[in-house]
Amino acid sequence: MPVSPMQRLLESAVQERGFPRSSYTVRSDKEQPFGFKRSEPRGPSNRFASLAVASHRNSSPSEREWRAMDDEIKAADFVLEIKNDLESDDFVPYARETLSRATEFLRRMMIHAHAANVTGVGVPQIGPADQGSIDLYWEKSDRTLLINFPAMESVANYYGRKPKSEVSGRFDPSEARGELAFWLAD
């Protein structure tokens, strides 16, 4: 069976993180794009039925988190429709490339977390910021993390705060930055 790009990403994340026995597998794109399922025996009869009837109660925390993230990513397309509203003279259009840089980073980060059996990273709000940049913003009970992806620059700037801990800096968004996921989830 051909290996999907997401499967390759997951495998690489598992290898990089040193979790060769992760309990997560990726289904083929045809079955459930980017979806996770715990490794368990599956009979042909319930293979697709499980998708149809799976309720939030029966799905694992990581599945729910992944689905919520996917929903947020789909909803984020609204930023591509923002036009120059005359409010800003230095308006920079929101590009698909910038949005993809942010959402692909988010997926990689989540894969790393789930591959390490870490859930509770939470799903950020994806939204527009200044000069064509895109924000990922996590707001949890005692912590926040804001990551900004500038337009036309393959970097990301971030700031996060929780009790007794502040993090900030800049990184290459083609990296997964699993430690930020762990920082959010611990």
Partner 1 sequence: MADWIVEDIPDQDSLFYRVPVDWLRRDLKVAPGVFRENKGSMSTDWEKYSSAAQTRSRQGRPERFAVLRLAVGKIREIEELTVSHEPVQGVEGQPDNQAHTGVYGLESQSVGPADLGRKERLRTALFERFKAWEIAPHARID
Q: How far is the CB of 89 from partner 1 (least distance, A)?
A: 6
Q: Select 10 or 76, whichever has its Cβ closest to partner 1.
A: 76
Q: Select 15 or 131, whichever has its Cβ closest to partner 1.
A: 131
CA distance 168 to 140: 17
Site pattern 138..177 for partner 1 (x: CB under 8 A)? ------x-xxx--------xxx-x-----xxxx-------
| 14: helix, strand or coil | helix
> 165: which strand partners?
162
Residue 70, judged by CB atoms within 10 A of its CB (0-12, 13-18, 19+), counts as: middle
Q: Supply the DSSP string of 43-112, one letter for each residue.
A: -TTTTTHHHHH--TTTS-HHHHHHHHHHHHHHHGGGGGG----SS-TT--PPPHHHHHHHHHHHHHHHHH
Q: How far is the CB of 79 from partner 1 (least distance, A)?
A: 9
**Quick one: which segment of 34-42, 55-63, 106-114, 123-131 binds partner 1 (CB under 8 A)?**
123-131
Q: How far is the CB of 125 from partner 1 (least distance, A)?
A: 6
Q: Select 46 or 84, whichever has its Cβ closest to partner 1.
A: 84
Q: Select 154 or 168, whichever has its Cβ closest to partner 1.
A: 168
Contacting residue, 135, 162, 182, 185, with partner 1 by CB under 8 A: 135
